[in-house]
Structure 1
């Protein structure tokens, strides 16, 4: 169904295949006819909640509407080593072909290096190494002789599948997230670190947003939060992460009061965290709360506030590049929706500078740039250059 014509054109095509009028689609997804028209014409980027609702009603997947993964762009930049092997591992399920492992402490160190690559916007490098680590961890599980050893390996496997799910989303392979989370839930139940069970629920809640399943997602967030015990940094990071997940799920589910309540809870937790915690890759701290607060205002329909607060937010130099990049992507979309394409483009430039790999492959970046181009009386060289950098036919 998809090609390079943009989300709006893909929604229009899917709508016509279902013999839906714009009026009927608007009624079914709970948005105005005016919004449907603007999205289909490319005058306004489709919000993630609009996308998931449209996909559900039109009986297609979100990635069919976005066109992700952007294979031409990925191949132009060297392809994705490790993707086919990760697919094989997920297809093997609980029968993964194990290979001879390193010592457990060496495997833990190798997994830390994979996670650090992901944190630093080097997802391609992380993906290239991750499948080998997973197969070695299954080898370590086979070799384990005590419950303590098995519990430690299950925790490392949980960490590996957390990263696998993040990588699948990063590169636009949403169908891989479900089997990844299925594996995570199995291993988290057996891990010697109980906080992985909490994270498994919270991460599934975030994936459910792509399926327009917000009530189930919010229920899973609450279940995950209820499992978190303790007040050390790890527990605080997971608790805070859960509230941030709940905030985004609620905002996209059009429950702004619930979303803002989660933000305030997260803000309270962040007061007890020094800087930005790297525990479990949550990157939880005051700055991340600020980033999510901006996102909540954007998803709740207040782009002017999101643009103002997003541009004013001070991000520490130590914050993970993908997190900062996502913030500037949201700020760019907010400026566009607020009618300021020049500042929107400037925010996209900041996202590109801080997290180029993530920015190049994010669907909302392409839609925001397309919206900027539509608002300009003539396409500027800056827009054209940015589109060329994104990949073939990023803006038509």
Structure 2
């Protein structure tokens, strides 16, 4: 690997570890998101002053980047960081340079393409597929959804190309109402692809979400459109456009609230929760709190039967789901102490799916980490690993584990967790 590509790999790893988008980093140093993308790909070497800002913003050391200390860099960067910080940064950088796959770090897994590569293939080089009946297509889609809710992401990644190809081939043979139903199946398959790409922090989430929304609009089903709008908004937030994402979610929720059918109102409530978390990530506290209050009110207006509907695809509209979002909202706003009561009243065993239970563990780990409680952070990560081992190997959680592993004072059990999840 060339020196310039190594520089880009370390910058990308540090940015992902801090959960920054390319747009956010670009704004900090005077570059566009596309320029940061080229820097991370090793196609563009930044000028000295923007590079100095990147180093400072990401908390990197010059020697970790293979850079010499010039007069310009010296004005922006301090070198009084501890060696332990360097080890942590290099560890996370190594994970990114090797590819932040959700697969276990075994030779057999390494020989298989990761989920992102499979989605790219489905986008641009779809496999030739044979159409099936709508009934069979629905069964295949349900099986894929079951893999997602069970947090079996490797299995889902392996199944998606075939599902997407079959769904699209089936759609092309149909007309009228049957074609609209096939459009809905295509949209939901792309929703799953987007969800998987988001969990892997993969840039392919954006085109996958765009495919999902296009098919959802063609289906004429407001519920499916709401599900697709939600994943598109998540990719918009990750791309540094939280305000536009919140606007999309608000508009879609309002249209769903007026649409016929109980399911529409449940999806609208879930979109308000996503909008609240998105606003919180953009540090729009008043909007985040208002949206969560609206989401809680919307959930409260649902009947018990509506809150327990099983025809929602990758969303939920329950009191426990609202509590789960409150954890993420307060943590993102920098008030994790206000999230603790919501975490305490959730019974994780009662959450409807493995994926939601894993999300509970993930959000609690972030909350305790922000509060500086290393023991409870580790306990939350261990809980996540127990209920969903593949969730614990996601890039964001591996970065949290690395932070615990290379903290000045380690916690008993973190080395074992790091070894199991491929951090060390």
Instruction: Give the deviation of 1:40 after TM superposition.
Output: 12
Contact 1:310–1:328 (8 Å) recurs in 2: no
CA–CA separation in structure 2 for the residues paired with 1:17 and 1:383: 38
CA–CA separation in structure 2 for the residues paired with 1:240 and 1:81: 33
Match for residue 314 of structure 2 among 281, 284, 299: 281
Question: What does residue 114 of structure 1 align with?
Answer: 144
Pairwise CA RMSD: 3.7
Contact 1:283–1:320 (8 Å) recurs in 2: no
Question: What does residue 382 of structure 1 align with?
Answer: 413
CA–CA separation in structure 2 for the residues paired with 1:221 and 1:68: 35
Sort the Cα spacing of 1:154 and 1:82 in 2 relative to 1 into closer, same or farther, 3 A. same
SS in structure 2 opposite 1:99?
A: coil
Question: What does residue 254 of structure 1 align with?
Answer: 283
Cα deviation 1:192-221 (Å, max 9, x = unaligned): 422222333332211112122111111111
1:349 is aligned to 2:378: no
Question: What does residue 320 of structure 1 align with?
Answer: 353
Contact 1:158–1:188 (8 Å) recurs in 2: yes
Sort the Cα spacing of 1:81 and 1:359 in 2 relative to 1 into closer, same or farther, 3 A. closer
Higher relative contact order (CA 8 A, sep 6+): 1
Contact 1:252–1:300 (8 Å) recurs in 2: yes
Question: What does residue 29 of structure 1 align with?
Answer: none
Instruction: Give the deviation of 1:340 after TM superposition.
Output: 1.6
Match for residue 422 of structure 2 among 364, 369, 391: 391
Match for residue 87 of structure 1 among 120, 133, 136: 120
Question: What does residue 100 of structure 2 align with?
Answer: 70
Contact 1:169–1:177 (8 Å) recurs in 2: yes
Q: How does 1:1-396 map to 2 (within 5 A)?
A: 1-2=8-9, 7=14, 18-21=50-53, 25=57, 69-71=99-101, 74-76=104-106, 78=109, 79-80=112-113, 84-92=117-125, 98-144=128-174, 146-172=175-201, 174-228=202-256, 229-230=258-259, 232-271=261-300, 272-274=302-304, 275-278=307-310, 279-363=312-396, 365-377=397-409, 379-393=410-424
Structure 1 unpaired stretches of 5+: 27-32, 47-62
Sort the Cα spacing of 1:41 and 1:245 in 2 relative to 1 into closer, same or farther, 3 A. farther
**Larger Rg: 1 or 2?**
2
TM-score (norm: length of structure 2): 0.74
TM-score (norm: length of structure 1): 0.79
CA–CA separation in structure 2 for the residues paired with 1:218 and 1:152: 28
The number of equivalent residue pairs is 361
SS in structure 2 opposite 1:237?
A: helix
